[in-house]
Amino acid sequence: MNQKITEELYKTKVNEVIVPCAKCSGRTAHEVVTSIDQFVEDTDCDVQWMKHYQIMRCKGCKIISFRDADLNSVEYIQAGDHEWDSRNYEELYPLCIEGRKYLGNSALGAALIWRFARGYCPPDTSINGVPLMLAYTVLPLMFNEDTRSKIISTQSSVYKFEEKYKDKYDLLYLIQGRAMGMRDLTRRSICIGISSGLLNLVPEDGSIYPIYQPVPRSVTRSAKELLKAAEKLGEWAKQFSLFEFSRTLHLDF
């Protein structure tokens, strides 16, 4: 592989980006304080990469954070009927994802994955367990205000959920990025679920199984709403194959 790498300080001259803030609990404008822009060209395969390492300051709370963004010349996502945009991979440090007020609570994450599993394989079903990959879809959907509210207001199936994005289809593609960003949180939540007796791990087939016990009554209204939405999502997921469910939500397992 023959690569040519060039690196320049602040070549892109991007002064502002809109990204989730670790403190403000939402997407806010961030000033790009400085940026190192790296351009990589593979002359053998005719592929180019662009990497941007940015130090940012939130214009609201003034917190300093770091953004690692990259795109390439071969990966695109559909933005409209005849419109395509470059796929942009983004990582933020510290972990900055919409719905930040819920992040860091691995115990809540464990409860949500447990309720998802209860919806996916209730006691009267022959389903052996939830494929482990599906567990990684729960928190990105539940910890985002937009997707969470649409799940709560949708009664029938994941197809009806998808229809609510017919005019903002590109927003569905953001779920994948949140799933990647929440991998560690999901892993911690699964571990807490297992250690607290909510979940069983079945290593032979890579699945988790809910341990059936009464749902606690002493929870807040908002937490109860979240738990019900997670169980509903599990009920939707069991109606489809793993491939169909991931395609509908534009997830790449």
Q: pLDDT of 59-110, one tens digit each?
A: 888 888 888 888 776 666 656 666 666 666 777 776 555 544 544 578 888 9
Q: Per-residue pLDDT averaged across 125-152, rounded?
A: 86
Taking alpha carbons only, the member of 53, 56, 58 closest to residue 9 is 53
Sheet holding 207-210, edge to edge: 130-131, 207-210, 199-202
Domain count, the chain: 2
Asked if residue 73 lies in contact with residue 34, where contact means CB atoms within 8 angstroms, the answer is no
Domain, as residue range, for 73: 3-93
Please tell me whether the overall predicted TM-score, pTM, comes out greater than 0.85 for this model. Answer: no
The reported pLDDT for the residue numbered 115 is 93
**In this structure, which long-range contacts are made by residues 245-251, counting pairs with CB atoms below 8 Å and at least 24 apart in sequence?**
245/134, 245/137, 245/158, 248/158, 248/159, 248/162, 249/137, 249/141, 249/158, 249/162, 249/172, 249/175, 250/172, 250/173, 250/175, 250/176, 251/137, 251/175, 251/176, 251/179
* Domain stops at, among 64, 93, 122: 93
| 72 DSSP β-pair partners | 49
Return all residues near 181 (Cβ < 8 A) that are at least 6 apart: 91, 92, 95, 97, 140
Q: Are residues 154 and 135 in the same domain?
A: yes
Same domain, 186 and 144: yes
